[in-house]
Amino acid sequence: MKIYCAGPIRGDRSYEPYFKEIVQLIQEMGHIPLTELTTQIEAARTSAPDDRGIYQRDRDWLEQAQALIAEVSAPSLGVGYEICYALHVRRIPVLCLRHRSSPAISAMISGNISKLLTLEAYATKRELDEKLRMFIGNMRD
C-alpha cells in the first residue's frame, strides 16, 4: 500500500525523530511511504526541486496514496494543507498522530468529525507501532 507521510519539513521540526520513526515503521510493515524524507538523499546528489517542483511532486504522491499518516505535534501549514487535500479532495483515510508532550493542536484537527480522520496520541515507539498497525489493519477490513 502507498501511504503519504506528512510532517513538518520547513517549520518546527521538534518532533522530526518521531516522524522518521513513523516512516521507518511503515516501511517495516511492507508499505511504501511517500514522503520528502525518502527523497532527501537523492536530492543531496542532484539539485533540489524548487517550490513548484515540491508542490507538484507532493500532489502526485497524494494522488497515488491510499491513505495519509501525519505527525501533527507541531504546527505546519503544509501538513494542514495535505490533510485537507486527503480528506476533501481524495477522500482517503487520514491518521493524525500527536505526541503526548505536545501542546494543544489545531481545532481544525482535534475538532474534525470526519469518519475518514483518526486522531491518536502516542509517547513511545511501541505506541506508534500499535497505532499504525491498528489504522492500517482497519483499512483492510
Whole-model pTM? 0.91
Write the CA distances from 6 to 52, 74, 135, 141, integer angstroms.
18, 12, 16, 24
* Coil/strand/helix, residue 54: helix
Q: DSSP for 77-93? A: HHHHHHHHIIIIII---
pLDDT for the residue numbered 46:
64
Instruction: Report d(CA 139, CA 68) in Å as an integer.
Output: 12
* Coil/strand/helix, residue 110: helix
pLDDT tens digit at each of 141 positions of the chain: 999 999 988 888 889 999 999 999 999 999 999 998 765 545 555 667 889 999 999 999 999 999 999 999 999 999 999 999 999 999 999 999 999 999 889 999 999 999 999 999 999 999 999 999 999 999 876
Instruction: Report d(CA 141, CA 137) in Å as an integer.
Output: 7
Query: Of 3.10.129.10, 3.50.50.60, 3.40.50.450, 3.90.550.10, which CATH number belongs to 2-140?
Result: 3.40.50.450
What single-letter amino acid sits at 41? I
**Per the structure block, which three cell numbers stand in for 125?**
515507539
